[in-house]
Structure 1
């Protein structure tokens, strides 16, 4: 009896070990959707869906149990039946593409115009609308899940057969990396990103979060939210996040705009050593640092959220969370000074987003 009690005590007090679990998460178009939950030795876990390679949860220890840092739902329909791309990976390119057109080496291509005259987030049948194949890997220092899908012109109207991979890795130090890989057999575009929404608090909005960004300018848009090519200086405007700034104050500064908040793209300095942005909840002290190897960061404060979806912290509503989408600047094919997201035949491109939490 005493031996059994001793062994039981050891089991109950032992630290959690790196772990990967798989569970069903509903169906879409008769396809099964799976949820993969990765847990590290510190009790931190992330959950990823095979639908849209979607980041569904980032649970960290709190005073009472755990807190999910992401806008999240346990119901697949809350992800599939709303227009806000919550948690999804978007691509082949993130953001808006003017006229749904681009040119590579003198050839003009036309892709899906799913937002008025323009293409948004890779069109209506892009990365965010597929059920991906998953494989997992576990080491002494990390757990990961890789989502794979081959896109063809028949699927998303972009040229080339694109072998796309998205790998989420939870590390022993609690950081999470999202690695994107694309290989194609014909010239195409590749500029995917994560459309995860963050709320680090246990409240219903992010107004008491501070935000700091490594940015001196942002993109100017036309009436269709298409980049004009001009860069606007952040200093002395609501876009000045050089120092930690309360979102409530910054959003108040946008009260005379149609958006009543942010749906904008900051120009950031790609740097593996310096965070592109830092988000912190003033109530709990929880924070994340976001690192990126690309020069753009979309900041969307959910200004237009409505109750079409319900998340674990309530029906969707403005300022419920903030999307931080690290990518190369939007509409790049029409603005060569923004960068180059062309993926040439038989080439491979890799991008990475890294999130470092403190709690």
Structure 2
């Protein structure tokens, strides 16, 4: 039964946070917080009449805010890293906050993920449900030039698609490369890692990066490496090959074929039959295999490495400093729109 419900979800910096639960006719449910536009849960029916979450989830807001994982939040103005927090637009140089060593990460400490967004409205039709969130950031708030106004609309339809559409305008030259930082693991809650999941990515190459994870500008072939997911590949096998790396896993940038009709990536759990197909109109998929044992706790119990897989659809990282990576500039009197779509099977 098509429905949008609201419930309180704790407080952030003394202000109330609200969860909006969108439920379609098939019983698929998306839980979205006004805090950080966070995709708090994405539940599908199970064969025994219950519901299973496709994403790492918690019912406690503090578990989202007390770790550095950006779990399930909206990210921007610029997802990923900007080398030295420095760039130029039309010959003018800009310096933004350097919040990860000398680099800028995920829009700085006061990016999209640090605010309770406005809820502009919800919509319910016979075919879909949607919620539109908005946020206005000034240079004083996040160090990026210009005042940017952003909307993020989540839409859940009866074909079991969850679509996220970003839209932005600015009063001055600025950058806009947002994403959603959801961690996926659709295995049973008792399964402690993503090892048994199978991953496909429509990608031929990934970016070479330096020690600070900044692209060098060089593209590396995926073929014959652990980065090759051109056929559905068991994640445990790929992660095992990455065990000797400094990260003990992936925190990397795949160049993908942008498409809203042809899968950019799929992630499935052969045991339960649950599967997520990702579509994106941009050329990169950043994947982070949660290589940490940060003591934060989620629905799968104590966190340990490889609990979930973040799949961040965006334009290639540090694009503003590399020709041919994509245009992430946003100019006055211009509106930019980006779409990410997830289709679930169960």
State the Cα RMSD in Å. Answer: 0.8
Any gaps of 5 or more consecutive residues in structure 1?
A: 1-16
1:312, distance to aligned residue in structure 2 (A): 1.3
Q: Mapping of 1:35-50 within 5 angstroms?
A: 35-50=19-34
User: Which residue in the other structure is 1:34 paired with?
Assistant: 18
1:268, distance to aligned residue in structure 2 (A): 0.1
Normalised TM-score (structure 1): 0.94
Q: Distance in 2 between matches of 1:270 and 1:344?
A: 23
Give the structure with higher Rg (CA). Answer: 1
Q: Deviations over 1:202-229 (max 9, x none)?
A: 1221100010110000011101111111
1:271, distance to aligned residue in structure 2 (A): 1.6
2:333 is the counterpart of 1:346: yes
Q: Distance in 2 between matches of 1:84 and 1:315?
A: 15
User: Which residue in the other structure is 1:260 paired with?
Assistant: 248
Counterpart contact for 2:193–2:308, Cα < 8 Å: yes
Q: Secondary structure at the match of 2:141?
A: helix
Q: Distance in 1 between matches of 2:64 and 2:240?
A: 29
Q: Mapping of 1:51-70 within 5 angstroms?
A: 51-64=35-48, 65-70=50-55
2:345 is the counterpart of 1:358: yes
Query: Compared with structure 1, are the counterparts of its residues 335 and 346 closer, same or farther at alpha carbon in structure 2 (3 Å cutoff)?
Result: same
User: Which residue in the other structure is 1:233 paired with?
Assistant: 221
Q: Deviations over 1:224-263 (max 9, x none)?
A: 1111111000000001111111001101111221111111
Q: Distance in 1 between matches of 2:150 and 2:144?
A: 13
User: Which residue in the other structure is 1:77 paired with?
Assistant: 62
Q: Distance in 2 between matches of 1:63 and 1:337?
A: 46
Paired residues, number: 342
Q: Deviations over 1:6-51 (max 9, x none)?
A: xxxxxxxxxxx21001111111111111100000111111000011
Match of 1:101 among 65, 86, 90: 86
Normalised TM-score (structure 2): 0.98
- List structure 1 segments (4+ residues) > 4 angstroms apart after TM superposition: none
Any gaps of 5 or more consecutive residues in structure 2?
A: none
Q: Mapping of 1:171-210 within 5 angstroms?
A: 171-202=157-188, 203-210=191-198
Q: Distance in 2 between matches of 1:215 and 1:43?
A: 33
Counterpart contact for 2:67–2:294, Cα < 8 Å: no
Match of 2:131 among 124, 145, 160: 145
Higher mean alpha-carbon deviation, 298-307 vs 180-189, is at 298-307
Q: Deviations over 1:66-86 (max 9, x none)?
A: 001110111011111100000
1:63, distance to aligned residue in structure 2 (A): 2.6
Q: Distance in 2 between matches of 1:263 and 1:79?
A: 20
1:285, distance to aligned residue in structure 2 (A): 1.4
Q: Distance in 2 between matches of 1:260 and 1:182?
A: 36
